[in-house]
Every structure is written in C-alpha cells, then in structure tokens.
Amino acid sequence: MDNPGSILDKIYTPTTLFPPSSIALIKSLRRGFIEDYTVYASRLTDAPWIFHSSCAFGILSGIIGRRAWEPMFRTAPNLWILLLGPTSIYRKSTCLRIARRLILSSHKDRLVPSDFTPQSLLAEFAKRDGKSCVFFRDEVSGFFSSIANLRFMTGMKELLINLFDGDPISRKLRSEDFTVDRPYFVWLGGAVTEKLIDAVTEADILSGLMVRFILVNPKGRGPTRPLRYEVTQADEDREILELKLKSLDKFFDTPLQSGLEGIIDPIDDPRLYFVLDGEALTAFNSYAGQLERESVKDSTKEKIHARIIPLTLKLAVILAADHSTQVKRLLNTVIVPYPILLKAIYWSEIFREHLTRTLIDVGQTPGERRYESFLEFVEKNPGSTRGTLMRRFHLKAREMDEVISTLQQRGLLEVRIKRTKTRPAETLWVSKSSET
C-alpha cells in the first residue's frame, strides 16, 4: 500500500490528554488494519476519514467474533456503529458498501439479512448460535420508527439490547420456541442525524438502545475531490486487507489450552482471553477513574461514561488482535501492553466526543430536552409534587435534585411547601417571571 502518512497525521494528533510523546508511542505500533483500511477506503470516496476508521473497527469486530473475550467486564468485542451526517454529501452509504463488500469477499458467512422481524432475527441467531452475525443497515431512522410504532415489531428494542449484551435468550414467538445461548451481534449503519433524533426517544439515547452505539458524527466532511479511477491500486489494497483478515483466523484458530484460573467463563467454547499487563491496567484504572469523577452530579455524563469505560476494553481487544504480532500470548491468554491500551483510550476519546456532539446537534442535549419537558408538564399541571414528577420522568432522587436546582437557578421554577396532615410536601410551579 502507499505510504499513509497524511492519513495517520489526520488520525493521530496531539491533544491535551495525548501529548506528542503519547502520540509517538501510539504511532510506534506497526500500521494495522485500521490504518490500512482507512487509506484504502479513502481512495474510493471522499467521505470523512473517521467513517472509514469506524467501519474498520466494525469489520474487525465482526471477523473476531466470540473467539475473543474480555474477562474484566466479561464481554466479547462486538460493536454497533452508526455513521451520522447530512444526506448524500457525507457518503455514508458508500462507506457502508465498501465495508460490506470487503466482508462479503473474505467472510461472507458473517453477514445476515438487513431486514427482519423479531421472529426472523431470532431464527437467524438460533441457526448461527455462537457465530458472528454482522448486520448492515443503510438508513436506520425508519427502522427505529417502525420498532416504536408497528405492532409486529413489538419487543424488538429489548431483543436487540439482549443480543448486543450477549445474554442467552429463550423466547416463544408465534407458537415457535427460540433459544440462543451465545449471541454475537455486530451492527454497521448510517442515518441522517436529525431524522435519527426525531425517530428515537431520550430514553433510547441515554439508557437504552442508542447508547450502545458508537455514534460517529464528524464536524465536517472535509474538502471534496474529483473522482478518479484507481481500480488497480484499490484491487491490490483490498487483497492485502483480505489477507490481514484471514490472518486473524490463523491467530484465533490455533489450538487452545487451559488459561488463567478464576476467570474462565463456564460456557464451553474455545476462545482467547485478553488481559491488560500491569502498566496498561494502571492506565486503564486511571482513565476510568477520571471519567467517573467527571460524571459526579451530571447524570448525562454518567450514562455516557458507563458505556465508554467497557467500550475502551473492547477496543483494546480489537486492537490487540489487529497487532497480534506485537502482543504476548501465554496459552489461551493474550497480554495487552500499554501502547495498545493507550491507542484504545485515544479512540474512546474520539468516540466520546462524537457522542456528545450528536446530542448537541439536535439543538439541545438530552438534559436540556428533559428540562423543557419537565417545565411543560409543570406548566400544564401546576402544583405537581416531587413524587409525581419523579415517577413521570423516571428520575432518581439525585437526578430530581439536579433538575430542580438547575431550573431554579435559571429563574424558571418555584418550589412551594404545601402543608398536609402528615408532613409538608414540595410542590412545583413555573416561575411567574418566566411567563412574562
């Protein structure tokens, strides 16, 4: 392949969290599939490079499957990825087609149909229990609308969440029994940002289905360029990428022996266990601690970071497999060194930024949307009690305190004490000053 120096410089740039010395350490790793695929796909379309890199993670996730296991969170490295942006000009569909074409040519048995009902999806997973199932869906907004509104899609959200989490599933649909013991579900899709937000609820974004996605939402698409034929070079690049994917099979399919005592999952399927070395574990705990501190008194960050922390380890597993010649393997245990963990944290920070940007793109963060809904309800139901509002908006005590405090400080909400026979009760009213 051509020297991807310009692409690498775009991807790996110093930040406050990653000074030049950290970037140099990341770049010291041999160029892997992520970088090579980004260069390859960038030759075929002028989409934002982050779309290609994200698809590369999705491809590796689909090829690796349940053959890898992260024992700290007891999870396999499956990813759900959504490419977001305006219609057409960001080339989301083109990026997905390039990724799907590569899997089709190297591991077509991983692909599953792009349209399904709960029954057909369960049937597919039952037939392929324990095997990787890679799902491509170009425009997911309509799909999310359908699972919210169509009767025959009832229960689809819960089913998708269970499949992502890898939980055993046993269900009866239309008089047919389905059992899936070891699901492994990888999803690559695209959506117009505004349409997606219109199609999902706040609960989907923060605590349910949507928060399980890596939401890739670039600030801009970058400069356009004239289209040109690079068929020969592209074919050569694709062949190299196919060989890299097949080399993963050799890495994972080497006969395994017993591994680390005390962390082996009871499910009897051969796999490699990816564990951090001492330096990497210290760095991971430091990063996780930083995210947890940032989450204090911020329920939105708390929910986002609760997903980013295990995502970091999933990315570390994928990157360790991508750099398999640079890791130590003891029987069926792969030791993940600090530079690879650092690279995983770097990507986690990129994806965390994109998730935050997605929430801002709709004009309001989910917290702001909650405040607006909260005020609207109080305006229609003046004198609502604290308990009523907590039940209505599914708020915990700390979250309720945060909402009330924020709206009071903005001069939008009044708290009045109502005398009762038992004990005083807080009632909430829209501030008169906010009504003028």
Amino acid at 100: R
End-to-end CA distance of the chain: 65
Rounded Cα distance between 254 and 107, Å, is: 18
**Residue pointed to by tokens 């690279």:** 343
Q: Could you tell me if 23 and 122 lie in one domain?
A: yes
Pick from 100-114, 333-347, 355-369 the range whose average pLDDT is largest.
Answer: 333-347
Q: Is the pLDDT of residue 397 over 50?
A: yes
CB 142 within 8 A of CB 191: no
Tokens representing 338 are: 């600090």
The whole-chain average pLDDT of the chain stands at: 84
388 and 354 assigned to the same domain: no
Residues 239 and 386 in one domain: no
Longest dimension (CA), the chain: 84
**Quick one: 339 and 402 in the same domain?**
no
Confidence of residue 259 (pLDDT cuts 50, 70, 90): very low
Q: How confident is the model at residue 32 (pLDDT cuts 50, 70, 90)?
A: very high
pLDDT digits (tens, 9 = 90+) for 196-227: 877 776 667 665 788 889 999 887 665 565 55
Q: E-strand spans in 305-378?
A: 328-330, 333-336
- Can you tell me the distance from the alpha carbon of 205 to that of 212, in angstroms, rounded to the nearest whole number? 9
Of 361, 383, 407, the residue that ends a domain is 361
State the CATH number of the domain containing residue 421.
1.10.10.10
Indicate whether 424 pLDDT > 60: yes
Q: Could you tell me the CATH number of the domain that includes residue 321? A: 3.40.50
Measured distance CA(233)–CA(221) in Å, rounded: 24
* One domain for residues 328 and 381: no
Q: Which amino acid is at 241?
A: L
Of the two residues 174 and 86, the one the predictor is more confident about is: 86
- Cα separation, 124 vs 137, in Å, equals 16
The count of domains in the chain is 2
Residue numbers of the domain that contains 400: 366-435
**Among 40-49, 64-73, 276-285, 293-302, where is mean pLDDT lowest?**
293-302
Task: Examine the domain organization and report whether 370 and 348 are in the same domain.
Answer: no
Whether residues 173 and 235 share a domain: the answer is yes
pLDDT band at 269 (very low <50, low <70, confident <90, very high): low
Residues 287 and 424 in one domain: no
Stated as kind and residue range, the H or E segment containing 62 is helix 49-64
Asked if 37 and 83 sit in the same domain, the reply is yes
Tell me the pLDDT band of 151, cut-offs 50, 70 and 90: low
Q: Which two tokens stand for residue 126?
A: 């039952």
pLDDT(336) > 50: yes
- Better-scored residue on pLDDT, 285 or 306: 285
Give the pLDDT confidence score for residue 266 in this predicted structure. Answer: 38
Comparison of pLDDT for 140 and 260, the residue scoring more: 140
pLDDT of residue 428: 86
Q: What is the pLDDT of residue 267?
A: 44
